[in-house]
Structure 1
Amino acid sequence: MASEDVKSTGETAVTRIVGLAEEAKLAREGVKGPSYAVLSICKSLVAGGVAGGISRTAVAPLERMKILLQVQNSHNIKYNGTIQGLKYIWRTEGIRGLFKGNGTNCARIVPNSAVKFFSYEQASSGILWLYRQQTGNENAELTPVLRLGAGACAGIIAMSATYPMDMVRGRITVQTERSPYQYRGMFHALGTVFREEGFRALYKGWLPSVIGVIPYVGLNFAVYESLKDHILKHNVFGLADDSELGVATRLGCGAAAGTIGQTVAYPLDVIRRRMQMVGWKDADAIFTAGGRNRQALEYNGMVDAFCKTVRHEGFGALYKGLIPNSVKVVPSIAIAFVTYEYVKDILGVEVRISD
């Protein structure tokens, strides 16, 4: 009986090995097995997550400064600019203050980035298939408009999947040493908001976020991929294929993509942050200097938030924090794209976002 069990186990192992060998053979011949597809998906998600974590940590101080400038009261100004604000944080909170909220931010951005890059690949593949079916041209390629659509789909999916973490990250980030601490971390913040304000509070500011993510993420992918295609097709630097694009060229394409995307979508980001603060009982102590200003924190929706922000603080308030955000976005988006592609090279993922 024992010998039969050993024989059975041996046959199972041999069958599995033969199966893996056959799958590897099919992969080399261009036919991908199910295990290969799952592994490729996992590698793609890992590459996107690593790209998001590295790029966001590199610019964490500027990210916090941007949010503080976005939500501060115009009648009780504490931060007069990016440099002054960073110096003030360093002086009052130390180096840890510059990275406050980054752990929560990375906990959000890693899955967000993973889902975003993977969703873009899937969306662009599906859109390209439909485009070829519509035109009857099997050799058709994605146009900038189609890339914009694929990027918009990816941004909406990623934003919706991780929005509660972004919401509480915004609140944690604006807390200072002198403010009454309500949140001790991401999970404590999620639980507290859910318990005190309800489930819907976790999605405050979702609508302007989704509307803003359409041009932001859409333009990021569309501009980045289109610039790369233009450089290769017109042989700008004498390059033969995508693999010859250097780090500096990729960073330049990413920087241009990030700058254009964030400039178009920035006012919606400001409104999103302000709407996220509604219902937080400690917001008074952090942002207001009296009853009149407290009223400016009460919004009945996205349009109301826009109107009150412009009425109380002027049109320029929609671009508060734009300078640190611009300085942040250029390296952040560039690093994310470059890291994503190089990590995929290291992991051996064959499919690229250009494909």
Structure 2
Amino acid sequence: MSESSSSETGTMQQAAELSRRMVCGGLAGMIAKTATNPLERIKMLSQTGEHGSKGKQSIANLYRSIVRNEGILGLWAGNGANLLRVFPAKAVVFSSNDYYKKKLRILSGTEAGQALPNSLEFLGGGMAGMTATLVTYPLDLARGRISGKLKVEGSSRHYNGIIHTVLATVKEEGVKALYKGVKPTVLGAMPYEGIKFGTVGLLEKTFPAQINIGSDGKTEKPSIWRKLVFGGLGGVMAGIITYPNDTIRRMLQLQGSRGTETIYEGYFDCIKKVYAKHGIGRLYHGIGINIVRMAPNTAVQFSSYELLKRSTEGYF
């Protein structure tokens, strides 16, 4: 076989492997998001305060308000936008994290089979988060606007689906409005994904899997339960640390949308005004439900991704 043919074959194999990881990542994200969307909806209403009641509301009260005003399917409001956003976002996050870790391994001189330094685990995840955010941000904004308000009977202040949300936003506020809050989102995505992937990597090194040899002489792969537990812990850690930033970006995304006045001039102005009016605690509204949501969400993400990768080996 000629050198050029060998090179082309190698390139095709790399492209096929990247495609496989992207599909697995996207499907894993969709499974996790659909399973936890009710918790996500309650969290977002708690963050934005757009639930039609004064003061902070309990998880149970928000649940009842959603079901009373929108029916049981209201718990999945925004899930269509979620899935359209999550598939490409998680496809990019997981595949680019693998890609960046591979490149960082080469640049750092870390040999194959040797554990990547913790700092590079965090860096790879952070770069993956930034990449995915920039690619899928308008879909995230649409999802936030659909889920961030409670629909009230007779009101025209709500959005109907992702396409309607995007078109209405552009018509009423201009194309630039699709990137409202992008700065805190990027600033939040980098540490969030960095902490999430970094924590999982740290846990895998701290608690190494027992290596077993099967009857066929092949090395058995670690239990999928490791990814489930480590993924859940990584998500909770990342969610707690970056939660105030997430609240700020949701407030910036929502302002100027139907029936919501524009009162913040930017990221730091939002922090200043929220702190002056409500105190630092306002930035943590909904953190309880977020912790409850993040643990199963990221646990399912990581375990599904690993399971799908194993199941599709040799098919791409």
- Tell me the CA shift for residue 91 of structure 1: 2.8
Partner of residue 264 from structure 2, selected from 294, 299, 302: 299
What is the rounded CA distance, in whole Å, between the counterparts of 1:160 and 1:79 in structure 2? 32
* Secondary structure in structure 1 of the residue aligned to 2:207: helix
- Tell me the CA shift for residue 240 of structure 1: 4.4
Cα distance change on mapping 1:248 and 1:198 into 2, 3 Å: same
Mapped pair 1:155 → 2:129: yes
Residue of structure 2 in register with 1:288 after alignment = none
Mapped pair 1:277 → 2:251: no
What is the rounded CA distance, in whole Å, between the counterparts of 1:197 and 1:346 in structure 2? 45
Residue of structure 2 in register with 1:329 after alignment = 294
* Secondary structure in structure 2 of the residue aligned to 1:299: coil
Letter in structure 1 aligned against 2:135: A
Residue of structure 2 in register with 1:183 after alignment = 159
Cα distance change on mapping 1:127 and 1:344 into 2, 3 Å: same
Scaled by the length of structure 2, what TM-score is found?
Answer: 0.89
Residue of structure 2 in register with 1:210 after alignment = 186
Higher radius of gyration, 1 or 2: 1
What is the rounded CA distance, in whole Å, between the counterparts of 2:138 and 2:81 in structure 1? 11
**CA deviation map 1:269-296 (0-9, x unaligned):** 000000001221322xxxxxxxxxx5xx
Kept in 1, the 8 Å contact 2:144–2:250? The answer is yes
List alignment gaps of at least 5 residues for structure 2.
214-218
Residue of structure 2 in register with 1:286 after alignment = none
Moved more, 220-229 or 178-187: 178-187
* Secondary structure in structure 2 of the residue aligned to 1:58: helix
Query: Aligned-pair RMSD on alpha carbons?
Result: 2.7
Residue of structure 2 in register with 1:12 after alignment = none
What is the rounded CA distance, in whole Å, between the counterparts of 1:281 and 1:190 in structure 2? 13
Kept in 2, the 8 Å contact 1:79–1:85? The answer is no
What is the rounded CA distance, in whole Å, between the counterparts of 1:64 and 1:310 in structure 2? 24
Kept in 2, the 8 Å contact 1:152–1:213? The answer is yes
Kept in 2, the 8 Å contact 1:74–1:313? The answer is no
What is the rounded CA distance, in whole Å, between the counterparts of 1:333 and 1:340 in structure 2? 10
- Tell me the CA shift for residue 111 of structure 1: 0.6
How does 1:338-349 map onto structure 2 within 5 Å? 338-348=303-313
Residue of structure 1 in register with 2:170 after alignment = 194
Residue of structure 2 in register with 1:310 after alignment = 275
**CA deviation map 1:13-63 (0-9, x unaligned):** xxxxx99xxx9xx89xxx963332222121111000000000011100000
Partner of residue 21 from structure 2, selected from 26, 38, 44: 44
Residue of structure 2 in register with 1:67 after alignment = 44
* Identical residues among aligned pairs (%): 32
Cα distance change on mapping 1:322 and 1:280 into 2, 3 Å: same
Residue of structure 2 in register with 1:127 after alignment = 104
- Tell me the CA shift for residue 86 of structure 1: 1.2
* Secondary structure in structure 1 of the residue aligned to 2:84: helix
Residue of structure 1 in register with 2:139 after alignment = 165
What is the rounded CA distance, in whole Å, between the counterparts of 2:225 and 2:158 in structure 1? 43
Letter in structure 1 aligned against 2:296: P
- Tell me the CA shift for residue 247 of structure 1: 3.1
Letter in structure 2 aligned against 1:161: V
Letter in structure 2 aligned against 1:205: G
Kept in 2, the 8 Å contact 1:128–1:141? The answer is no
Scaled by the length of structure 1, what TM-score is found?
Answer: 0.80
- Tell me the CA shift for residue 177 of structure 1: 3.2
